[in-house]
Chains A and B, each alone.
Chain A
Amino acid sequence: MTTPTAAPTPRGWRRLPVVHQLRQSVGLQRVMLIVGLVLTGLLLLSALLAPWLAPYGYGQIRSADTGPFGAQQPPSAEHWLGTTVGGFDVLSRVIWGSRTAVLVIVIAIAASLIIGVLLGLVSGYFGGWLDRVLVVIADAVYAFPSLLLAIVLAIVISGGQSSMIGGVLAAALSITVVFTPQYLRVVRAETIRIKSEAFVESARVIGASNGRIMFKHVLRNSTRTLPLIITLNASEAVLTLAGLGFLGFGIEPTKAAEWGYDLNRAISDVTSGIWWTSVFPGVAIVLTVLGITLVGESLNDLADPRLRTRRASADVTGDVAATSVVPGGALTAPGGVEGLEPRTEDGR
């Protein structure tokens, strides 16, 4: 699962994101959360164990004993899910594709998390012209259709030429640029709220340096909504990667497996009624995004007291209210999370 960034509190593992929500949830919400976690777990397993799970390599078009696989073969005992127009084994490419997807998600999230959180902290803490400039840039980039930005970056990073590393990096970094503004905004809003709290002032009075206040006092308190945004962005990362691949900017089939590319190759197959080349990679994308989104959606609802199904009033802790995310932006996280600012002002 996505790594929780919040520091463990005295109550230990029960307060960790996801674990905490799992305990908090009831009924349908719990079912959705569990289904999401299971699907996400399957994705991670398949990515981790791809070499052992997949019957063939992602770029393999012939086997040692039976010769070439043949193109567009329907599902059979040798090829459970058939073969593609390029003569690859569909099942193997679907399994290997999970590895590419996970790799892109991890790189993209890690990079945008680090950059976005740092910029957000600095922007919110110091304010002034730097803050203004960063916010305007972040808004501009956020308004930009993400796939178009990803296309531009893919051209820049790999020149459209797709090696394994180049393709993965192009997809991951282009997604990073798109996501960074969201983290910046959330962390900035939280930082502005927290820096006026008494404990920050106290720290300043004792003579703590800006850096120490930022990282020791503000950062740890401003990361509560991040797990939620991470899950939402992870699903968008998968879709962006697939979109890039579908437009022909994916990774070459001999370098790595990528679902979007496979779907692109399957367009003409569909017209002649060959379904197995498109359906299986597509289902893989859907299940991946579905799993991650279900986790994110459940976290979102559990964080919002208006949407949370209540078990007993005693369980609804007061501090969760501050983390609530406004409806209207469940999927597009920044839309929702921006609401934090007015919300917290009103709430006081």
Chain B
Amino acid sequence: MTSTPTAGPLQPTGAADPTAPDGDAPASTRRSRGSGGGLGRYLLVRFLLIIPTVFILVTVVFVLMRATGDPITAAQGGRLPADQLAERIAQAGYDRPVLVQYGDYLGDLLRGDFGTTLSDSRPVTEVLTTFGTATLELAFYALIVAFAVGIPFGLVAAYFRDRVPDALLRVFAILCYATPVFFAGLLLKLVFAVQLDWLPVAGRASTRSEIEMRRLDDPTGIYLIDAIRTGNPDVVVDVLQHAVLPALALGLLTAGVFLRLVRTNVIGTLGSGYVDAARSRGVRESRLLRKHAYKPALIPIVTVVGMQVAMLLVGAVLTETTFEWRGLGFQLSQYLQARDFVAVQGIVVMLAVVVAVANFLVDVIAALIDPRVRY
């Protein structure tokens, strides 16, 4: 391999970033690297890129949803007589020209109005604030599991490269990826909740704990925090017990990705010139792994965490459905089953914005950690 030491970790960093302004990295910004103004400019450009991304997503979703008709026909088609259907369509304004609707829709979005659900007439933003915290909590637990499992195992796999532990861990990583998160969830449920009866089957907390938490003055909606605030250790244990299986199901999915990433990158850095130099000075292999190869290999993980936001959100939708974890994803599947496509559109668009912003934040962090990311 001819790559220079610096080229090793740099490539995955840039490569794993799907939103990098690839065609738009003009030579001028590249040249300005030496002058020191790179970071601010990079962040600004990167921030401005959120706008077209979100705009395109919103437009794509809008065009798709209107391409074949309106949400009311889609939801009620065939179940209501034609005149009633037409009346409801007119009421909701879906009989106007599509361009007018599009303009209105964009205007509403700018004002932070993502629409109102058809089935229970709640503003979509309210759905987000009510159920978003639950999803956030689940994603947080899942990330902890992913880091705790993925990084150490990835190091071990790289250390034992092409030997038995490596093979086993790689199969494990592929299995993590190959198992749909809902099947993993069902299996965990079957074993730990039903057969062994160690953990609760579903939900975020038992009814008793929920009542106790509801008595708080202003509940945060993040159950772990609320549980600690009640000061009752039973409630905390109860909340944590409910979180174990969903966090494992969702976390293992991501852990597989981290494991592979750490393994590949550590192998890459282990083969680079400065590690060879250290080895020739007589540094022990285990120390090489811990001190020399490990840290540069972690940089790409930051970027990949950003990409995982999208995967975590999708995973959360499925995990929440499996465990009746009342978050955004569970709500989304409820609306899907109720054929409330206005709510679905609202939630989908909102999640797209969340993903775009999360990707931006991750790029900022990556740029702060690693100067080579700045163009």
* Interface residues, chain A, with chain B CB atoms under 8 Å away: 27-28, 32, 131-132, 135-137, 139-148, 151-153, 155-157, 159-160, 235, 239, 242-243, 246-249, 260, 263, 266-267, 270-273, 275, 278-279, 282, 285-286, 289-290, 293-294, 297, 305-307, 309, 326-332, 334-339, 341-343, 346-347
Residue B271, interface by CB 8 Å: yes
Selected contact of A293 from candidates B3, B174, B355, CB within 8 Å: B174
**Residues of chain B lying within 8 A (CB to CB) of residue A305:** 1
Q: List 19 A-B contacts (CB under 8 A).
A: A139-B19, A143-B310, A144-B60, A155-B344, A159-B68, A159-B74, A235-B177, A282-B180, A326-B12, A328-B13, A329-B15, A330-B264, A331-B177, A331-B260, A335-B15, A335-B304, A336-B16, A342-B15, A343-B11
Quick check: A148 and B351 within 8 Å, CB to CB?
Answer: yes
**Residues of chain B lying within 8 A (CB to CB) of residue A342:** 10-11, 14-15
When chains A and B are docked, how far (Å) is the Cα of A132 from the Cα of B56? 13
Interface residues of B in 285-313 (CB under 8 A from A): 300, 303-304, 307, 310-311, 313
Quick check: B322 and A282 within 8 Å, CB to CB?
Answer: no
**Residues of chain B lying within 8 A (CB to CB) of residue A143:** 18-19, 53, 57, 310, 352, 355-356, 359
Known: A143-B18, A246-B180, A306-B267. A273 touches B300 (CB 8 A): no
Interface residues of B in 190-248 (CB under 8 A from A): 190, 194-195, 201-202
Quick check: A282 and B61 within 8 Å, CB to CB?
Answer: no
In the complex, the 6 A-B pairs of residues with the closest C-beta atoms, listed nearest first: A327-B264, A339-B15, A328-B12, A282-B183, A289-B178, A140-B56
Quick check: A279 and B336 within 8 Å, CB to CB?
Answer: no
Quick check: B186 and A140 within 8 Å, CB to CB?
Answer: no
Quick check: B177 and A289 within 8 Å, CB to CB?
Answer: yes
Known: A148-B351, A305-B1. A270 touches B178 (CB 8 A): no
Selected contact of B183 from candidates A160, A286, A338, A343, CB within 8 Å: A286
When chains A and B are docked, how far (Å) is the Cα of A151 from the Cα of B310? 15
Quick check: A327 and B265 within 8 Å, CB to CB?
Answer: yes
Known: A266-B186, A327-B264. A144 touches B333 (CB 8 A): no
Quick check: B352 and A148 within 8 Å, CB to CB?
Answer: yes
A contact face: mostly helix, strand, loop, or mixed: helix
Quick check: A339 and B11 within 8 Å, CB to CB?
Answer: yes
Quick check: B15 and A336 within 8 Å, CB to CB?
Answer: yes
Known: A131-B23, A156-B65, A235-B178. A147 touches B15 (CB 8 A): no
* Interface residues, chain B, with chain A CB atoms under 8 Å away: 1-3, 7, 10-20, 22-24, 52-53, 56-57, 60-61, 64-65, 67-69, 74, 77, 162, 166-167, 170, 174-175, 177-180, 182-183, 186-187, 189-190, 194-195, 201-202, 257, 260-261, 264-265, 267-268, 271, 300, 303-304, 307, 310-311, 313-314, 317-318, 321-322, 333, 336-337, 339, 341, 344-345, 348, 351-352, 355-356, 359
Known: A146-B314, A263-B182, A339-B12. A160 touches B65 (CB 8 A): no
Quick check: A271 and B201 within 8 Å, CB to CB?
Answer: yes
When chains A and B are docked, how far (Å) is the Cα of A297 from the Cα of B260? 10
Selected contact of B15 from candidates A294, A338, A347, CB within 8 Å: A338
Quick check: A155 and B74 within 8 Å, CB to CB?
Answer: yes
Quick check: A144 and B355 within 8 Å, CB to CB?
Answer: yes
Quick check: A306 and B186 within 8 Å, CB to CB?
Answer: no
Quick check: B337 and A248 within 8 Å, CB to CB?
Answer: yes
**Chain B residue nearest to A131 in the complex (CB):** B23
Quick check: B64 and A144 within 8 Å, CB to CB?
Answer: no
**Chain A residue nearest to B8 in the complex (CB):** A306
Known: A131-B23, A145-B351, A270-B186. A297 touches B174 (CB 8 A): yes
When chains A and B are docked, how far (Å) is the Cα of A108 from the Cα of B178? 19
Quick check: A326 and B15 within 8 Å, CB to CB?
Answer: yes
Most A-side CB within 10 Å, residue of B65, B177, B311, B333: B177
Chain A nearest CB: distance from B68 CB in Å?
5
Quick check: B271 and A306 within 8 Å, CB to CB?
Answer: yes
When chains A and B are docked, how far (Å) is the Cα of A266 from the Cα of B186? 9
